[in-house]
Amino acid sequence: MNYNKKTVYDIDVAGKKVLLRCDFNVPQDKATGAITSDKRIVAALPTIRYLLGQGAAVIACSHLGKPEPSFEKWVKKQAEKGKDPAELTEEKWQKSLKKLTLAPVAERLSELLGKPVVFAHDVVGPDAKAKAAALKGGEIMLLENTRFEKGETKNDPALAKELASMAEVYVSDAFGSVHRAHASTAGVAAYLPAVSGLLVAKELEVMGKALDDPKRPFVAVLGGAKVSDKIAVINNLLEKADTVIIGGGMAYTFAKAQGGEIGTSLCEEDKIELALGLLKKAADKGVKLLLPVDTVCADHFGADAAPVVYEAGKIPADMMGMDIGPKTVELFSEAVKDAGTVVWNGPMGVFEFDTFAVGTKAVAKAIAESKAVSIIGGGDSAAAVEKLGFADKMTHISTGGGASLEFLEGLELPGIACLQDK
């Protein structure tokens, strides 16, 4: 697909009402509802400030969490979790919705901007419509959680049209949601001129160039738990990369495919043939595919487990792999040292446990110290880089886990495809 899209710089927004899709799906304290990290709000500020500075009236919108907009469906989901249907009242459902209001986001956005943010208590209802109509150039409002509307996740044309009716231009700046064909991420583009915000534009520029015209050698580092989550990514990168490194839980499926002993390590038995096929494809393409040569293991999955190192493919029956070993750290670090471009998606081990975060930290350090264009593909990789203190050393950290993964797969992203081409 074409990633060369028009941005807010390519369209006149002066005096116009702009519907701006943001990613305000912020983490919150479960007990108090307080925002525990405002990074996603901060990430939206450059686009918001630009639009306001141009004299636009900004109508921001976003989802938050996964509320169930239907009482019936909420009851069904709660029952599936083992809750007694007799105790599931409409009042409790309403309380569940209130926990996912965007009102705290409006407050924090106001603080960051240093100006009032009008908050609408609905999405396309009377409150939103009235406040949008009254909004003047240089002012900003925030709609309530888009997922409170039944038609949002179904990309309902009627809802998309209602959203669009409040504005004259649509700006997409929620990269974390562009892989979803929802009313507020894709549907509205059928009714308004649609361009990217500055955050989305940066994602497309950096990640697009990495895939289409990378500085070589191009090294892809892939981790995470399951081969099934990364099949398409590996397939696509074997067409583009010079070296593909595989760590994390999915490495054990490859080890078993090669006849190795993996103990109680994570393994997708139904993906063994696929793993062999990917190894063959790498060989046929002349792509280096590096797998762990040693493994840090434990007798149980826990932060208190004692680490023991074994040669890859020789893990005892009662042990499980938890991290890449010291020889593998050297091997992987050497592979990225002289890279021109590095794309990293997925940790090397159970980085949530300090004892088994050594491999992930070492790879992050090697990428940070390289002179490569370094791109971190959101999700767990971004979390690991942040947690380990290497965020400021990376060229680009993607704001979208699922979106960046689908980008690396080479899939069409609905929230990008709908934007105007340059």
For this structure, is 277 an active site residue? no
For this structure, is 40 an active site residue? yes
For the chain, how are helix, strand and coil distributed in percent, rounded to 5? 45, 15, 40
Q: Alpha-carbon distance 159 to 184, whole Å? A: 8
For this structure, is 131 an active site residue? no
Q: Which of 145, 178, 184, 175 has its CA nearest to residue 33?
A: 145
Q: Out of 224, 321, 379, 401, which one is annotated catalytic?
A: 379
The tokens 């690396």 sit on which residue? 408
Strands 57-61, 140-142: pairing is parallel
Three-state SS string over 278-292 comes to HHHHHHHHCCEEECC
Q: Which residues pair with 403 in a beta bridge?
A: none
Q: Alpha-carbon distance 4 to 7, whole Å? A: 9
For the residues of 197-247, what is the DSSP string, one character each? -HHHHHHHHHHHHHHHSPPSSEEEEE-SS-HHHHHHHHHHHTTT-SEEEE-
Q: Out of 16, 40, 256, 387, which one is annotated catalytic?
A: 40
For this structure, is 226 an active site residue? yes
Q: Alpha-carbon distance 58 to 20, whole Å? A: 7
Q: Out of 65, 277, 402, 410, which one is annotated catalytic?
A: 402
HSE, CB side, 13 Å, CA atoms: give it for residue 215.
12
Q: Which residues pair with 290 in a beta bridge?
A: 245
Q: Out of 226, 285, 288, 393, which one is annotated catalytic?
A: 226
By annotation, the residues acting in catalysis are 40, 226, 379, 402
